[in-house]
């Protein structure tokens, strides 16, 4: 049977407690949400949804073509200018997802004969970028500038180091200044994925590179998603103008992919406008994360101190994590559940999102439910 081998894999998944299921949520979903990536509570903000709706009415439901054919509207160009200006970079290029932006940045900047030095805790999209790149990849110890330095020292020719700025599993931050220093000593570029930093770190949410004083540097490239803090959908690469022009000409996920839907561009633009007007949202998300961490650890739970708005709580086993998340859900609280293969160290976790729009009562309720349902 053509797909008989799938049954074998399904059985192994069941035995390991690693089966994943989809749970469509209703539009008026009632649970307290600490599972989404809507860090600033903007996905349903009326200005953001109206920005998306207006863009769809004006430009259509789809972009109608790839960016180099018909898929670049004036709205895409405006979003690129705004993103670059907000985060402090010379130029930006918008993609249909953050995943596509990461594939583009890594593959286009790692030609034949180059080296990519990749943090062991990087997001799957950076890992896939390394797999698709023509250059060689060396995976190095998590958050370790010296390991990056050593790897770069072994190589002649073009090289980049790639890292998440905030790691999605534990919510810890990369040592960006140290990484930039290691790269500069060897004439290498630094490519960082700020999916969990944009909107949360840096002045008014301008991101981790801005906070580290690296925004606008000619050897630094940042990728972002529009789907987390900005409450929309899509991704972008920010960097020096020659790098962005290179991506327009060389990045396959840019050239061979339909442009970002106008509604997503319009929603992200509205979110950026809102963030400029209400910069305190970023600090509020960080404060909620700090409070969640303090209260959960005070209850004896094991959680990594959050550097941004991801709070990760260790679970005893994959099955224990699934049961814990299900019990939270039954008690009206939605939390993320990370299990292998999404966790590089094999340790399952509950993953909580510290949203800027959570009230003190909601934070208290979330902590209480997590404590009462702990395995
Ligand atoms: C660190 C990181 N990078 C990239 C992505 C991909 O972004 P997108 O969902 O826009 O494809 C995600 C999230 O899903 C992420 O967590």
CA-nearest residue for atom 9, ligand 1, is 98
Residue pLDDT, tens place only, 230-267: 999 999 999 999 999 999 999 999 999 999 999 999 99
The CB of 348 under 6 Å from ligand 1? The reply is no
Residue 166 CA: nearest ligand 1 atom is 1
d(CA 167, CA 164): 6
Q: How many helices (H) and strands (E) does the chain have?
A: 14, 11
Instruction: Of 31, 32, 48, 19, give the one whose Cα is nearest residue 268.
Output: 48
Ligand 1 mutation target, pool 99, 229, 260, most atoms within 8 A of CB: 99
What's the 249 CA to ligand 1 centre distance in angstroms?
A: 23
Residue 235 CA: nearest ligand 1 atom is 10
What's the 284 CA to ligand 1 centre distance in angstroms?
A: 22
Domain ranges of the chain: 27-43+279-372, 46-277
pLDDT attached to residue 152:
98
Q: Is 88 left (phi over 0), alpha (psi -120 to 50) or beta?
A: left
119 φ/ψ angles, rounded to the nearest 5 degrees: -65, 140
End-to-end CA distance of the chain: 41
Write down the residue that tokens 């930006």 correspond to.
92
Q: Is the pTM of this model over 0.85?
A: yes
One digit per residue, the tens of pLDDT, for the chain of length 375 reads 899 999 999 999 998 888 888 988 888 767 899 999 999 999 999 999 999 999 999 999 999 999 999 999 999 999 999 999 999 999 999 999 999 999 999 999 999 999 999 999 999 999 999 999 999 999 999 999 999 999 999 999 999 999 999 998 899 999 999 999 999 999 999 999 999 999 999 999 999 999 999 999 999 999 999 999 999 999 999 999 999 999 999 999 999 999 999 999 999 999 999 999 999 999 999 999 999 999 999 999 999 899 999 999 999 998 899 999 999 999 999 999 988 887 877 889 999 999 999 999 999 999 999 999 998
pLDDT attached to residue 159:
98
What's the 99 CA to ligand 1 centre distance in angstroms?
A: 6
Chain centroid to CA 140: how far? 20
| DSSP classification of residue 304 | P
Strand partners, 311: 352
pLDDT attached to residue 27:
84
pLDDT attached to residue 344:
75
Instruction: Tell me if 216 sits within 8 A of 179, measured CB to CB.
Output: no
What's the 4 CA to ligand 1 centre distance in angstroms?
A: 32
Number of Cβ within 10 Å of residue 201's Cβ equals: 27
Residue 196 CA: nearest ligand 1 atom is 1
Check whether the bond before 149 is cis (ω within 30° of 0).
no
Instruction: Tell me if 117 sits within 8 A of 152, measured CB to CB.
Output: yes
Number of Cβ within 10 Å of residue 323's Cβ equals: 17
Contacts of 172 (CB under 8 A, 6+ apart): 143, 166, 304, 305, 306, 307
Contacts of 289 (CB under 8 A, 6+ apart): 171, 306, 308, 309, 310, 311, 354
Number of Cβ within 10 Å of residue 27's Cβ equals: 5
CATH fold for the domain made of 46-277: 3.40.640
Chain centroid to CA 298: how far? 28
The CB of 193 under 6 Å from ligand 1? The reply is yes
Q: What is the largest CA-CA distance in the chain?
A: 59
What's the 38 CA to ligand 1 centre distance in angstroms?
A: 12
What's the 56 CA to ligand 1 centre distance in angstroms?
A: 24
CA-nearest residue for atom 2, ligand 1, is 195
What dotted CATH number matches 27-43+279-372? 3.90.1150.10
Write down the residue that tokens 């049954």 correspond to.
7
pLDDT attached to residue 12:
92
The CB of 257 under 6 Å from ligand 1? The reply is no
d(CA 92, CA 223): 9
Write down the residue that tokens 């940045």 correspond to.
105
Q: Do domains 27-43+279-372 and 46-277 have the same CATH topology?
A: no
Burial pattern 58-87, b for ≥16 Cβ within 10 A else e, equals ebeeebeebbeeebbbebbeebbebbbebb
Chain centroid to CA 314: how far? 20
Residue 227 CA: nearest ligand 1 atom is 10
Instruction: Of 74, 116, 83, 108, give the one whose Cα is nearest residue 238.
Output: 83
Ligand 1 mutation target, pool 94, 98, 224, 267, most atoms within 8 A of CB: 98
pLDDT attached to residue 346:
83
């Amino acid at each position: 049977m053509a797909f008989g081998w799938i049954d074998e894999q399904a059985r192994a998944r069941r035995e390991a407690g690693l089966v994943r299921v989809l749970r469509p949520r209703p539009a008026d979903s009632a649970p307290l949400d600490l599972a989404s990536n809507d860090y600033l509570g903007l996905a349903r903000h009326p200005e953001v949804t109206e920005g998306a709706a207006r863009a769809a009415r004006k430009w259509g439901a789809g972009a109608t073509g790839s960016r180099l054919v018909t898929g670049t509207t004036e709205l895409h160009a405006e979003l690129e200018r705004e993103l670059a200006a907000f985060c402090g970079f010379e130029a930006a290029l918008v993609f249909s997802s953050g995943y596509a932006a990461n594939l583009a940045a890594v593959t286009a900047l790692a030609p034949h004969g180059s080296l990519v030095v990749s943090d062991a805790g990087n997001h799957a999209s950076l890992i896939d970028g390394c797999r698709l790149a023509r250059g060689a990849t060396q995976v190095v110890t998590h958050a370790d500038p010296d390991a990056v330095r050593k790897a770069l020292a072994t190589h002649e020719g073009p090289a980049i180091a790639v890292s998440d700025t905030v790691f999605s599993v534990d919510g810890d931050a990369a040592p960006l200044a140290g990484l930039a220093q290691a790269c500069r000593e060897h004439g290498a570029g630094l490519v960082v994925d700020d999916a969990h930093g944009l909107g949360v770190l840096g002045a008014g949410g301008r991101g981790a590179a801005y906070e580290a004083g690296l925004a606008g540097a000619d050897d630094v490239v940042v990728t972002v998603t529009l789907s987390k803090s900005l409450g929309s959908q899509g991704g972008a690469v920010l960097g020096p103008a020659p790098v962005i022009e290179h991506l327009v000409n060389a990045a396959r996920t840019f050239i061979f992919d339909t442009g970002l839907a106008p509604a997503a561009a319009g929603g992200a633009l509205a979110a950026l406008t809102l963030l400029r007007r209400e910069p305190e949202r970023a600090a509020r998300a960080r404060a909620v994360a700090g409070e969640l961490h303090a209260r959960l650890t005070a209850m004896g739970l094991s959680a990594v101190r959050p550097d941004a708005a991801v709070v990760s709580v260790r679970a005893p086993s994959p099955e224990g994590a699934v049961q814990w998340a299900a019990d939270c859900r039954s008690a009206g609280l939605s939390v993320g559940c990370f299990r292998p293969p999404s966790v590089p160290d094999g340790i399952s976790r509950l993953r909580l999102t510290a949203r800027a729009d959570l009230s003190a009562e909601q934070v208290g309720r979330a902590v209480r439910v997590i404590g009462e349902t702990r395995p």
